[in-house]
């Protein structure tokens, strides 16, 4: 039972969105100051509370308890107890996570953008978390990670170093970053941001961050000597690089659900089902364990489960991990009914919330009685409220310019405007939509794939899409559309004239199949959301909730089901008038003439029960990084994401459930871009919830994001990429020249305060004036007149053998000696833009300019 003291302590908890951290000190919760966030003593346990607002309404509450590798069993027990009490105090709605040092979940790491620092010792040993402006410090931090960085305190000795990682030698007033010869550019950049964060938060901005390149230590002799004074003489050979990749143990290939219950004092864990799981498997009176292929374990507590069962949930999960011989660091989540995490919901097919509102613009299967309430809205509001555009899946009202091509003989054949909106299942089409935002033209390129098109035509469609994309300098957003799964905006651009024929082709001179009748199901309440799709001409395909159009050689019948609305009837009538000139006879359900049933091959049972509502699944969007940085293509989830998580060197996948977005950064490599399409399809095929493999996939390039994408991000900034080049350029200067970051007017790492103290450089003599060598992670050092202080005529640098270059010019860094004007004329970009590019791209540009 919770003590009065504990209740008083919990009463001081801030219920506003944000992060709060406590450590366990003498078996009590002690608050950790904000400036110490991200620092964790290995001998301690911590409790982390994060409250965040959801997209739309409501909030998410997450409680993590972090276990240091040297913490005592008593401390771990106290932390677990306090988490349970805190969960109870907050109404049982939080999701609980168990975090082991070195194996923290991506969600946990997302709270600490600049990285985690593991410190030796603990509160009990008398160490303070952070003492600002204390300089009598000597410690060595081993930095690992490309996306999520962690730094552990290690022995202050050369024995701790290896050739593949970054190390920070923290001497109080000076922080020396030593870059291993084999570590990559991203690791170095992340380490710089971590070093700056230490400087800003722990030293109040009064410290120098300087860099030593392990492969070129001779260029910074003063800094190397400073390291030797602390570490002793450097050995001739350091340890070999160690891979950052953790080889996953052999795991199951499926998601399994287990029922956990007590039987005469014995805990029984019984398998209930294997993926795909359905929500009705969960009973409010019980507790369950969901095993996510061995990668993490989730516990669900029903509202009516006994108090003992609910309190024992975490303990039972840990026992389950032991039984399965999973690593002790396996991630554990515990949640209550009604407070499920986004990942948990994603494991189930068609998850529903209680009191869930009806959705918008869904596709429906023929024969199923399913309706969607259509909500009217002001399209002008979309640009003012991008989140509305994202949820409505509309960038505008479809009033822009439309061009349509059909794939004929693997080439593009333009479709005449009077045929726009007619799509045949034996064809593939490209639809280019042009609209304006803030006087700038934007483009969406739809690739529509007919169900009966050949593989060659589908391949040609993708190939021709690339050609059209190139015609518009890569600006179009590319959208793959599978027949019958058209997104809402696709419907809007054809203004109620979209009709989809099951087979055949729209090519000139093509002979249509000789059929006695064609039946079309018409859905929609306005020209923004209406389409007609051909279904088998059989009575069993009718649906009481819809309008159907039956075309025979003699006449057309408009069949009104009893459950359709006046708007649906009007919209269907207008569509039929546009498409078919024949006489149309209106037929009410139950009053059909004999000829109607004869045309359908006779009467047959069809879906005629009372109207049912189909709800739109409520799923939070999920963002994944797609990268082959480690040599293997992999997808890593990014939690609590914002715009800054979109990495310009990677491909990102945004899953909004109804649509999949592939966002391609400017500097993503070719392999990642090509693999991303396949990965998106594999992601859908292997999704534990049994997702529709034909879900719309939208291809977006950096700088050309539509509202339907940006609306999923809070406070989207269209000018952010320009700032990124500027900030990255500053970090590049640090890495290339070994200079300290205080030269840049108080520039700080994200998350750290900007220093406003007087800038000074006590170690100014240690700055290397020499140009970098080819092993530098960034090709090129910014220097208006070259690093040596001289500018060289471009003619003496372009395509000139190294032996004939002017004296003092580094053959591998010829661009450093160009004037700014020659630099931009030859390379086509400014120096800051060039420095922000990946190494492979810089080399390619230098080769083309004759500078390599």
| CA distance linking residue 459 with residue 103, whole number of Å | 42
608 confidence band (pLDDT: 50, 70, 90): low
Distance separating alpha carbons of residues 422 and 498, to the nearest angstrom = 6
Minimal CA–CA distance to 70: which of 118, 111, 26? 118
Lowest mean pLDDT, pick from 256-270, 343-357, 459-473, 689-703: 343-357
Residue 573 has pLDDT above 60, yes or no: yes
pLDDT (average), residues 438-456: 88
Residue 204: inside a domain, yes or no? Answer: yes
Strand partners, 680: none
Other CB atoms within 10 Å distance of the CB of residue 714: 12
Is 759 a residue whose pLDDT tops 50?
no
How confident is the model at residue 54, as a pLDDT?
67
Q: Do β-strands 166-170 and 174-179 pair in parallel, antiparallel, or remain unpaired?
A: antiparallel
Question: Which of 462-471, 669-678, 725-734 reaches the highest mean pLDDT?
Answer: 462-471
Of residues 170, 145, 168, 164, the one with CA closest to residue 215: 164
Query: In terms of domains, do 584 and 662 share one?
Result: no
Predicted confidence band at 240 (pLDDT cuts at 50, 70, 90)? confident
Identify the pLDDT of residue 777.
30
Arithmetic mean of pLDDT, 293-299: 82
434/718: higher pLDDT = 434
Non-local (6+) Cβ contacts of 1 within 8 A are none
Structure confidence at residue 574 (pLDDT) = 84
Strands 296-301 and 331-336: parallel
Lowest mean pLDDT among 121-130, 267-276, 579-588, 838-847: 121-130
Whether residues 114 and 8 fall in one domain: yes
Does 733 reside within a domain?
Answer: no
Alpha-helical segments (H) within 640-771? 670-685, 707-710, 720-737
What is the CA 780 to chain-centroid distance, rounded? 31
Beta carbons within 8 Å of 687's beta carbon, 6+ residues apart: 346
Closest by Cα among 261, 260, 325, 268 to 298: 260
Q: Are 286 and 343 in contact (CB under 8 A)?
A: no
Mean pLDDT within 167-183 = 90
713 and 683 both lie in a single domain:
yes
Q: Which comes out higher in pLDDT, residue 755 or 685? A: 685
Average pLDDT for the chain: 76
The residues, ordered by sequence, that sit 6+ positions from 325 with a Cβ below 8 Å of its Cβ are none
Does the structure show a pLDDT above 80 at 522? yes
Assess whether 263 and 334 both reside in one domain. Answer: yes
Pairing mode, strands 531-535 and 634-638: unpaired
* Per-residue confidence (pLDDT) for residue 714, from 0 to 100: 65
| 503 and 531 part of one domain | yes
Does position 529 have pLDDT exceeding 90, yes or no? Answer: no
β-partners of residue 708 are none
DSSP one-letter string for 3-27? -HHHHHHHHT---SSEEEEEEEETT
Which residues are 407's β-sheet partners?
412
pLDDT confidence of residue 427: 92
Task: Note whether 324 and 291 are same-domain residues.
Answer: yes
pLDDT band at 125 (very low <50, low <70, confident <90, very high): very low
Evaluate whether residue 417 is within a structural domain: yes
Residue 362 confidence (pLDDT): 36
DSSP single-letter state for residue 676: H
Tell me how far apart the alpha carbons of residues 134 and 141 are, in angstroms, rounded to a whole number.
Answer: 17
Residue 511 lies in a domain: yes
The C-alpha atoms of residue 552 and residue 410 are separated, in whole angstroms, by 34
pLDDT at 376 over 60: no
Residue 634, pLDDT score? 66
User: At 402, which CATH number?
Assistant: 3.40.20.10
Reported as a pLDDT band with limits 50, 70 and 90, residue 134 is low
pLDDT value for 724? 55
Contacts with 504 (C-beta within 8 Å, 6 or more apart), sequence order = 424, 425, 426, 510, 512, 513
Q: Which of 588, 520, 596 is nearest to 555 (CA)?
A: 596
Residue 758 has pLDDT above 60, yes or no: no
The DSSP element (H or E) to which 538 belongs, if any, is none
Residue 448 pLDDT: 93
Mean pLDDT of 674-702: 83
Compute how many other C-beta atoms are within 10 angstroms of the C-beta atom of residue 644. Answer: 12
Does 332 lie in the same domain as 296? yes
Nearest to 403 by CA among 461, 451, 446: 446
Q: Give the pLDDT of residue 786.
A: 38
**For 304-318, 335-349, 743-757, 833-847, which range has the lowest pLDDT when averaged over its residues?**
743-757
d(CA 845, CA 834): 9
Cβ atoms within 10 Å, residue 168: 22
The pLDDT value given to residue 340: 81
Residue 251 has a pLDDT of: 37
The pLDDT score that the predictor gives to residue 733 is: 52
Region 18-24 average pLDDT: 88
Question: 227 and 143, same structural domain?
Answer: yes
Q: Among 484-488, 548-552, 745-749, 798-802, name the one with the lowest average pLDDT.
A: 745-749
- Please, what sign has the CA dihedral across residues 820, 824, 830, 833? negative
Mean pLDDT: which of 163-177, 185-199, 676-690, 740-754 is highest? 163-177
- C-alpha torsion sign, points 150, 152, 156, 162: negative
Q: What is the model's pLDDT at position 389?
A: 59
Short-list 34, 25, 103, 90, CA closest to 63: 90
Q: What is the pLDDT of residues 87-108, one digit of tens each?
A: 888 877 788 888 888 888 878 8
Residue 53 lies in a domain: yes
State the burial class of residue 418 (Cβ atoms within 10 Å of its Cβ: 0-12, 13-18, 19+). exposed
Note whether 193 and 723 are within 8 A (CB): no
User: What does the pLDDT read at residue 126?
Assistant: 42
Q: Given the DSSP bridges, would you call strands 174-179 and 208-213 parallel, antiparallel or unpaired?
A: parallel
Task: Kindly state whether residues 413 and 523 are assigned to the same domain.
Answer: yes
Q: Which of 322, 350, 378 is the last residue of a domain?
A: 350
Q: Residue 783 pLDDT more than 70? A: no
Beta bridge pairs of residue 498: 531
Residue of 755, 656, 851, 771 whose CA lies nearest to 206: 755
Contact status, residue 369 vs residue 612, Cβ threshold 8 Å: yes
Are 346 and 687 contacting, i.e. CB atoms less than 8 angstroms apart?
Answer: yes
Within a 10 A sphere around the Cβ of 8, how many other Cβ atoms?
Answer: 9
pLDDT, greater one: 224 or 682: 224
Measured between alpha carbons, how far is 258 from 628 in angstroms, rounded to an integer?
A: 35
The tally of domains found in the chain comes to 6
Domain end point (choices 208, 238, 268): 238
Q: Do 589 and 709 belong to one domain?
A: no
> Residue 566's pLDDT is what?
85
* Mean pLDDT across 472-490: 86
CATH of the domain at 805: 1.10.950.10
- The 10 Å Cβ neighbour count of residue 233 is 7
Q: 430 and 554: one domain? A: yes
609 pLDDT above the threshold of 50 = yes
Q: Is the pLDDT of residue 393 over 70?
A: no
Neighbours of 616 (CB within 10 A): 17
- Last-in-domain residue among 189, 204, 238: 238
- Tokens, residue 294: 């061995």
The pLDDT of 372-400, averaged and rounded, is 59
Which is more confident, 127 or 457?
A: 457
Residue 823 inside a domain? The answer is yes
- In percent, the amount of the chain with pLDDT more than 70 equals 78
Contacts of 265 (CB under 8 A, 6+ apart): none
| Least confident segment among 151-160, 374-383, 534-543, 803-812 | 374-383
247 against 628, higher pLDDT? 628
pLDDT band at 606 (very low <50, low <70, confident <90, very high): confident
Q: What is the dihedral of CA 842, 845, 846, 850, to 10 degrees?
A: 170
What pLDDT does residue 206 have?
A: 82
**689-to-124, 174, 350, 462, 685 alpha-carbon distances in Å:** 47, 52, 8, 28, 10
User: What confidence score (pLDDT) does residue 135 get?
Assistant: 66
- Chain-centre distance for alpha carbon 674: 17
The answer to which of 423-427, 480-484, 672-676, 728-732 has the lowest mean pLDDT is: 728-732
What pLDDT shows up at residue 754?
32
The token duo for 136 is 């009598």
DSSP 254-317: SEEEEEEEEETTEEEEEEEEESSEEGGG--TTSEEEEEETTTEEEEEE-TTS-HHHHHTHHHHH
Q: Which residues face 139 on adjacent strands?
A: 170
Q: Give the integer Cα–Cα distance in Å for 597 and 227.
A: 91
Span 603-622, average pLDDT: 62
Rg of the chain over CA atoms, in angstroms? 32
- Asked if residue 454 has pLDDT above 70, the reply is yes
Return the pLDDT at 645: 83
User: What is the rounded distance in angstroms from the CA atom of residue 434 to the CA atom of residue 431?
Assistant: 10
Per-residue pLDDT for 500 more than 50? Answer: yes
Q: Report whether pLDDT(515) > 80.
A: no
- The whole-number average pLDDT for the span 265-274 is 79
Higher local confidence (pLDDT), 341 or 501: 501
- Print burial letters for 147-161: b (CB count within 10 Å at least 16), e (below 16): bbbbbbbbeeebebb
- The reported pLDDT for the residue numbered 169 is 93
Could you tell me if 34 and 94 lie in one domain? Answer: yes
Question: Does a structural domain hold residue 681?
Answer: yes
Range of the structural domain that residue 479 is part of: 388-607
Residue of 684 and 375 predicted with greater confidence: 684
Element (H, E) at 126: none
Separation between Cα atoms, residue 673 and residue 627, nearest integer Å: 9
Q: Is residue 334 one of the residues assigned to a domain?
A: yes
List the one residue out of 116, 72, 89 whose CA is nearest residue 4: 89
Q: Kindly state the helix (H) or strand (E) to which residue 138 belongs, with its residue range.
A: none
Percent of the chain clearing pLDDT 90 (strictly above): 9
Model confidence at 781, pLDDT cuts 50, 70, 90, reads very low
Residue 306 vs residues 1, 303, 313: alpha-carbon distances, Å: 16, 9, 11
CA-wise closest residue to 97 among 108, 86, 110, 82: 108
């Amino acid at each position: 039972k919770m003590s009065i003291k504990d209740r008083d302590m919990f009463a001081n908890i801030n219920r506003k969105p944000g992060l709060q951290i406590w450590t366990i000190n003498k078996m009590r919760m002690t608050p950790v100051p904000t400036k110490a966030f991200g620092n964790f003593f290995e001998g301690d346990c911590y409790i982390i509370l994060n409250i965040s607002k959801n997209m739309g309404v409501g909030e998410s509450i997450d409680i993590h308890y972090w276990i240091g590798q040297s913490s005592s069993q008593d401390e771990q027990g106290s932390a677990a107890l306090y988490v349970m009490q805190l969960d109870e105090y907050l109404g049982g709605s939080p999701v609980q996570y168990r975090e082991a040092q070195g194996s923290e979940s991506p969600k946990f790491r997302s709270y600490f953008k600049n990285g985690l620092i593991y410190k030796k010792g603990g509160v009990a040993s008398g160490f303070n978390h952070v003492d600002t402006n204390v300089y009598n410090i000597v410690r060595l931090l081993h930095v690992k990670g490309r996306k999520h960085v962690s730094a552990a305190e290690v022995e202050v000795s050369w024995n701790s170093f290896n050739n593949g990682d970054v190390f920070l030698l923290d001497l109080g007033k000076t922080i020396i970053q030593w870059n291993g010869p084999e570590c990559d550019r991203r690791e170095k950049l992340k380490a710089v941001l971590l070093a700056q964060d230490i400087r800003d938060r722990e030293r109040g901005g009064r410290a120098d961050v300087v860099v030593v390149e392990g492969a070129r230590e001779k260029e910074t002799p003063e800094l190397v000597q400073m390291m030797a004074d602390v570490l002793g003489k450097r050995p001739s050979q350091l340890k070999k690089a160690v891979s950052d990749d953790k080889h996953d143990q052999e795991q199951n290939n499926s998601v399994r659900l287990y029922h956990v219950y007590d039987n005469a004092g014995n805990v029984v864990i019984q398998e209930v089902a294997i993926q795909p799981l359905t929500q009705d498997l969960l009973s409010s009176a019980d507790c369950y364990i969901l095993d996510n292929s061995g990668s993490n374990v989730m516990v669900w507590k029903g509202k009516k489960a006994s108090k003992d069962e609910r309190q024992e949930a975490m303990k039972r999960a840990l026992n389950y991990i032991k039984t399965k011989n999973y690593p002790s660091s396996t991630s554990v989540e515990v949640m209550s009914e009604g407070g499920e995490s986004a990942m948990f919901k994603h494991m189930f097919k068609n998850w529903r919330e209680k009191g869930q509102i009806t959705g918008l613009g869904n596709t429906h299967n023929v024969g199923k009685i399913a309706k969607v309430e259509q909500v009217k809205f002001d399209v002008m509001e979309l640009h003012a409220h991008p989140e509305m555009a994202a949820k409505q899946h509309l960038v505008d009202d479809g009033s822009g310019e439309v061009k349509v091509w059909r794939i004929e003989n693997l080439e593009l054949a333009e479709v005449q405007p009077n045929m726009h909106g007619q799509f045949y299942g034996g064809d593939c089409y490209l639809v280019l939509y042009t609209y304006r935002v803030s006087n700038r033209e934007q483009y969406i390129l739809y690739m529509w794939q007919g169900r009966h098109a050949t593989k060659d035509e589908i391949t040609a469609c993708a190939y021709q899409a690339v050609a059209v994309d190139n015609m518009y300098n890569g600006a179009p957003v590319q959208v793959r559309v599978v027949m019958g799964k058209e997104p809402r905006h696709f419907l809007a651009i054809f203004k109620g004239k979209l009709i989809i024929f099951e087979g055949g082709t729209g090519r000139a001179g093509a002979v249509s199949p000789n059929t006695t009748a064609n039946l079309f199901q018409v859905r929609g309440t306005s020209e923004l959301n209406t389409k007609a799709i051909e279904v088998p001409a059989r009575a069993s395909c009718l649906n009481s909730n819809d309008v159907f159009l039956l075309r025979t050689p003699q006449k057309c019948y408009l069949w009104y089901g009893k459950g359709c609305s006046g708007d649906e009837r009007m919209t269907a009538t207008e569509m039929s008038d546009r498409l078919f000139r024949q006489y149309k006879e209106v037929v009410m359900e139950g009053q059909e003439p004999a000829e109607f049933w004869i045309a359908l091959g006779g009467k047959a049972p069809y879906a005629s029960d009372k109207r049912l509502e189909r709800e739109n699944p409520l799923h939070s969007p999920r963002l994944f990084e797609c990268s082959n940085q480690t040599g293997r293509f992999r997808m890593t989830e990014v939690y609590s994401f914002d715009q800054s998580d979109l990495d310009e060197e990677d491909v990102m996948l945004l899953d909004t459930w109804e649509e999949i977005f592939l966002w391609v950064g400017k500097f993503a490599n070719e392999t990642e871009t090509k693999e991303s399409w396949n990965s998106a399809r594999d992601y859908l095929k292997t999704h534990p919830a049994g997702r529709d493999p034909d879900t719309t996939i939208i291809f977006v390039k950096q700088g050309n994001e539509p509202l339907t994408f940006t609306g999923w991000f809070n406070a989207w900034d269209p000018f952010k990429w320009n700032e990124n080049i500027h900030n990255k350029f500053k970090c590049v200067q640090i890495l290339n020249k070994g200079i300290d970051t205080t030269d840049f007017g108080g520039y700080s790492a994200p998350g750290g305060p900007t220093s406003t103290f007087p800038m000074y450089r006590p170690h100014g003599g240690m700055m290397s004036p020499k140009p970098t060598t080819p092993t530098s992670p960034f090709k090129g050092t910014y220097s208006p007149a070259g690093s040596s202080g001289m500018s060289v005529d471009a003619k003496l640098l372009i395509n000139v053998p190294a032996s004939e270059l002017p004296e003092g010019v580094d053959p591998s860094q010829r661009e450093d000696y160009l004037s700014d004007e020659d630099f931009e004329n030859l390379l086509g970009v400014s120096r800051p833009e060039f420095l922000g590019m990946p190494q492979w791209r810089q080399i390619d540009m230098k080769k083309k300019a004759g500078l390599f």
